[in-house]
Every structure is written in structure tokens, then in C-alpha cells.
Amino acid sequence: MLIVNIVRSHKYLFFSFLMMCSLLVFSRCDSTEEGCLDIQATNFDVSVDNACMDCCTYPKITLRINHIQDTLGAFKLNTVYLDAQDQPFTIESIQFYISELQLVRANGNAVGLADELALTFANNTKSTVEDNFTLFEKTIGSYTHNEIGSIRTSGDFTKIRFYLGVTNVANHAEPSAMPSGHDLAIQSDTMHWNVTDGYIFNKIKVQKDTSSTNLTTLEIGTDANLILVELDYPITINTGFDISLAIDFDYKKLFDNIQFQADTDETIKSKIISNTADAFSVSD
């Protein structure tokens, strides 16, 4: 009788052990962890079990523009400079859009941003485009540093490419329908004419004659005046890391051959358009 009880006791312990093991196994299955399994993301986590739907965050690309005046150092607002006729002028403010920033490989293949922007047009149609638009504004500092957006790439690149202006259909979208705070939304100092003519690509407020307090506002835009800028910029990008680019914008070159007092506004704008691409260069 004693032997039978011992056997039953062993059987009970054995089945209890099996039950505990089963509970542990099922408990492990129920606690599967979701996370980012995209190796290009900044929060890539190889230890998680399942890929999440939208938890991945991607590296940011920023562009620093150094505002310079030839060899004189930083270009300063409300400071007297001499034009092509050695006449004094000052710049009170300058704002310009940069769009479609791309990194270009040696074989010519280009990589843009990973972000998207929903556009609405005057006829209530909609479209989705790459969100690659940023507004640069010269301030009292020597440079402007803007986050352009997120990017998913790695490897070696030889050039950067962008446009001064607002590219493609976005130039004719409704600013009032843009997300709040977006650079294409309505600005306090307006950067938009209308949906037909689009955005003001480059707005410069200049005191053409320092003996007068009058300011002239030069506004450059329309699709025909988009300016392509392409610079040699060798860079190696590591997977999952933020990217920081730095370029110079030389106002001496931007205003080359301009006579602010003698030239008409249209002539000045035409010369600025012709000079813009050459005014950009890679920072030393």
C-alpha cells in the first residue's frame, strides 16, 4: 500500500512539472515583443520578436548654410556694403526656399527624403509628394541651420543637389491647407503670391540708397525661375546615423555686377537669378 502511494505521488509530481513547463512556454509565447526591425532606423532593435507597424524613427538630415561675404567673413544684415558701382547698400532681410534636396552617388543615382506631404489644390484635388521643402531666413547669426527631414540610406555619395524655390506641383498648392507650422504654410511675412504664380522663392528687402530710408522688396518666383544647384560633396553615410551638411552662400557672388541705384528692379532680379547657383559652394 505504501509503495502504491509513493508511485502515485511521483506521478502527481511529474504531471505538475509538465503543467508548469507548459505554462512557461505559453507565457513566453504570449509575451512576444514588438519593435523596430528596420536596420536603417535609429531605434533598430535586434532583440525584439516582431516588427512594429509604425514605430521606426529614421535619421534626420540637416543643412547648415553659412552666410558669407567673399573674404570679409560673415554677411551681416543692416550693414553697409558696396555694389558694382561702388555705391553703398544694405540688406534688411532675405528669405528663400530650398527644396528637393538629394544625395547623389557616383553612378548618378539620387536619394531623397523619406517624408511625405499631402497637398490640396484650388479645385479641391489632392496629391502626395515627397516632403522636401524648407524655408531659410537670414538672421543676425552667421549661419542658418535647418532640419530638412528624415532619410533612409547609407553608403558613399559624391554630390548634393537641390533647388532654390518650390518644385513641381507643390508650388501651386493651397498654403492654407498645409499642416500647421510647415514651411509651406501661411507665413507672417508672406512668401506666397497666389496658386497660379505660386510661392515667392527668394525675397530680399534692400536699402538701395543708404542716404534714404526707403526699402525695396525684391520678390523672385514662378516655375521658370527654379534654380538647380549641384555641388561636389563627397560623404559616407553610416546606417542609422543622422546626417549634417554644410554649405556657404556668398552674397558677394549673389549681387555680382548689380548696380542697385542704376539698375531697374527687374534687371536686379534677373541678375540675382543668374548669380544664385554660383553663390553656393561647399564649406571648407
Per residue of the chain (284 residues), what is the pLDDT tens digit?
Answer: 444 444 444 444 445 544 555 544 444 445 678 888 777 787 777 777 777 778 888 899 999 999 999 988 999 999 999 999 999 999 999 999 999 999 999 999 999 999 999 999 999 999 999 999 999 999 888 999 999 999 999 999 999 999 999 998 999 999 999 999 999 999 999 999 999 999 999 999 999 999 999 999 999 999 999 999 999 999 999 988 999 999 999 999 999 999 999 999 999 999 999 999 999 999 97
CB atoms within 10 A of CB 207: 19
SS3 64: strand
Residue the block writes with cell 525684391 = 218
- Cα 13 to the center of its chain, rounded Å: 65
Q: Are 175 and 246 in contact (CB under 8 A)?
A: no
